[in-house]
Amino acid sequence: DGYYWITGRVDDVINVSGHRMGTAEVESALVAHPKVTEAAVVGYPHAIKGQGIYCYVTLMSGDEPSDELRLELRNWVRKEIGPIASPDLIQWAPGLPKTRSGKIMRRILRKVAED
């Protein structure tokens, strides 16, 4: 019918170079990688793109963070979604902050990404 319906929260949509993208899509691509156990994605102010893609990634037990793995994850997301979704920053996180009900506290992650 020509309409788009946003099924997630509005604050979980970022605008990268004029392209609106749901953070859940990038998170799903990251978690599909065999070395990633959990991921959270937020937007942050980017001088050229408007908003950049900032990813917090928790690795599987036994996997070590490295620059090679960071590049591998960027390429993985590019392959899964497309070049526009390629993460600008990937920060390794031993765990993500959560509420008692288990939801990721994105407000805290956004604050860290903006600083």
The domain of 33 spans: 10-114
- Alpha-carbon distance of 63 to 41, in angstroms, equals 20
What's the rounded mean pLDDT across residues 4-21? 75
4 falls within a domain: no
The encoded tokens of residue 26 equal 């990038």
Contacts for 65 with CB less than 8 Å, ≥ 6 apart: 59, 92
Pick from 1-10, 16-25, 59-68: least confident: 1-10
- CATH number of 35's domain: 3.30.300.30
More reliable by pLDDT, 13 or 59: 59
What DSSP designation does 39 have? E
Structure confidence at residue 10 (pLDDT): 54
In the chain, the number of structural domains is 1
Task: Report which of 68, 53, 47, 49 is spatially closest to residue 12, judged by C-alpha positions.
Answer: 53
* Residue 81 falls inside a structural domain: yes
* pLDDT 10s digits, 83-106: 999 999 999 999 999 999 999 999
| This prediction's pTM | 0.86
Q: Is 44 contained in some domain? A: yes
**Mean pLDDT in residue range 12-16:** 87
Residue 51 forms part of a structural domain: yes
